[in-house]
């Protein structure tokens, strides 16, 4: 503890100001989390309903032995489109790293994958590894808009229609609560696999009239469904990001607090040592005078 009192004081001041920043960031993240969380819960039912409608149409087509048009027919090929969603900014603990690690694993397992990237973190990561991707979307801001979801969805759907890939998956954080947001691989297309596990429960399903045709209805639902899947994932990813940032900033604030406490202790010890020494000197001096 050879540090001088002044030096320790300076460190305490610097850590205190860092702590103020992390505390402010924690509070900002907490506020934004609240908004994002509401959005997550209010948007989930719509996506679920679209999914139900789409699988109803697909299973009706299958049962009716419908000859579906090339572009809307469920595909079984091995080529993937992987939409990777990360954040633009860091300071969110392991949030982005976990997603990127999963992405690497996915790429290794499925070599025929084209990526679409959301977020600066993923873009910079893959760029520095000379990994190519189909499209990138960065600087989406703090609250995802329907419009952004539709733009990204539109791009993916266009590629899909042009036959660039057979399957669409989304890799992003799924929001459960502010501390739990596991990385989830969401399969957007093909849908049908789950359908087959659930055998003829029907008879309850009404026979729909498809207007003008089952192909046209599928062509109307598919883009809506893809947009919805993208938007839903954006919303969940954003809420998870704020959750992760809030947690990361809280522990940073706590750590700063501990550090400050320790330094305070050291500071006071040093100060006391100085006083004790001075007293000893004075006493020593007085004794010397007396003698």
Partner 1 sequence: MSTFQLEVLTHERTVILTDVEYVGLPGKNGRFGVLKGHIPIMAALKLGILEFGSYRGKRRKIALSGGFAQMQGNKLVVMANTAELAEEIDVLRAQRAKERAERRLSEKKDDLDFARAQTALRKAILRLEIADGE
State the nearest-atom distance from the C-beta of 119 to partner 1, in Å: 20
Whether 172 contacts 236, CB under 8 Å: yes
| Residue whose CB is less far from partner 1, 150 or 240 | 150
- Single out the residue of 289, 125, 156, 132 nearest to residue 233, CA to CA: 156
193-212 footprint of partner 1 as x/- string (CB under 8 A) = -------------xxxxxxx
Residue with tokens 């192909």, as numbered in its chain: 215
Residue 9, C-beta contacts closer than 8 angstroms, at least 6 positions apart: 267
Contact with partner 1 (CB under 8 A) among 57, 82, 83, 92: 57
Is 16 a binding residue for partner 1 by CB under 8 A? The answer is: no
Is 159 a binding residue for partner 1 by CB under 8 A? The answer is: no
By CB under 8 A, the count of residues binding partner 1 is: 29
CA–CA separation, 252 vs 240, rounded Å? 18
Q: Which of residues 62-121 bind partner 1 (CB under 8 A)?
A: none
State the nearest-atom distance from the C-beta of 255 to partner 1, in Å: 39
The one segment of 41-49, 90-98, 112-120, 121-129 that binds partner 1 by CB under 8 A: 41-49
| Residue whose CB is less far from partner 1, 208 or 283 | 208
| Residue whose CB is less far from partner 1, 38 or 262 | 38
Strands 80-85 and 113-118, by their bridges, are parallel
Is 221 a binding residue for partner 1 by CB under 8 A? The answer is: yes
Give the count of beta carbons closer than 10 Å to the beta carbon of residue 50: 19
Residue 115 three-state SS: strand
Segment holding 238, helix H or strand E = helix 214-290
CA–CA separation, 288 vs 12, rounded Å? 40
State the nearest-atom distance from the C-beta of 43 to partner 1, in Å: 6
Is 146 a binding residue for partner 1 by CB under 8 A? The answer is: yes
User: Half-sphere exposure of 239 toward its Cβ, with a 13 Å CA cutoff?
Assistant: 24
State the nearest-atom distance from the C-beta of 262 to partner 1, in Å: 49
Report, in angstroms and rounded to the nearest whole number, the Rg of the chain calculated over CA atoms: 29
| Structure-token pair, residue 283 | 């006493």
List residues binding partner 1 (CB under 8 A). 42-43, 46-47, 49-50, 53, 57, 146, 149-150, 158, 206-212, 216-217, 219-221, 224, 227-228, 231-232
């Amino acid at each position: 503890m050879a540090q001088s009192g002044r030096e320790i004081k300076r460190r305490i001041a610097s850590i205190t100001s860092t702590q103020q920043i992390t505390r402010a960031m924690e509070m900002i993240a907490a506020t934004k989390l609240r908004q994002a969380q509401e959005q997550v819960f209010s948007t989930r039912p719509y996506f679920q309903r679209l999914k139900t409608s789409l699988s109803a149409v697909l299973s009706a087509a299958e049962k009716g032995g419908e000859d579906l048009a090339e572009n809307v027919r469920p595909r079984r090929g091995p080529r993937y489109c992987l939409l990777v969603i990360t954040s633009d900014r860091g300071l969110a603990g392991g949030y982005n790293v976990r997603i990127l690690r999963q992405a690497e694993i996915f790429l290794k397992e499925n070599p025929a994958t084209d990526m679409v990237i959301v977020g600066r973190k993923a873009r910079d990561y893959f760029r520095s590894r000379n990994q190519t991707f189909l499209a990138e979307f960065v600087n989406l801001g703090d609250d995802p808009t329907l419009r952004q979801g539709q733009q990204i969805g539109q791009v993916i759907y266009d590629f899909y229609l042009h036959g660039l890939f057979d399957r669409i998956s989304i890799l992003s954080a799924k929001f459960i609560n502010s501390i739990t947001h596991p990385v989830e691989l969401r399969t957007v297309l093909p849908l049908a696999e789950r359908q087959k596990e659930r055998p003829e429960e029907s008879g309850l399903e009404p026979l729909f009239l498809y207007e003008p045709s089952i192909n046209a209805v599928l062509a109307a639902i598919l883009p809506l469904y893809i947009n919805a899947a993208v938007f839903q994932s954006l919303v969940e990813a954003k809420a998870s990001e704020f959750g992760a940032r809030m947690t990361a900033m809280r522990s940073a604030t706590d750590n700063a607090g501990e550090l400050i406490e320790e330094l305070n202790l050291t500071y006071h010890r040093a100060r006391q040592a100085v006083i004790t020494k001075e007293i000893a000197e004075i006493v020593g001096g007085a004794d010397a005078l007396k003698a």
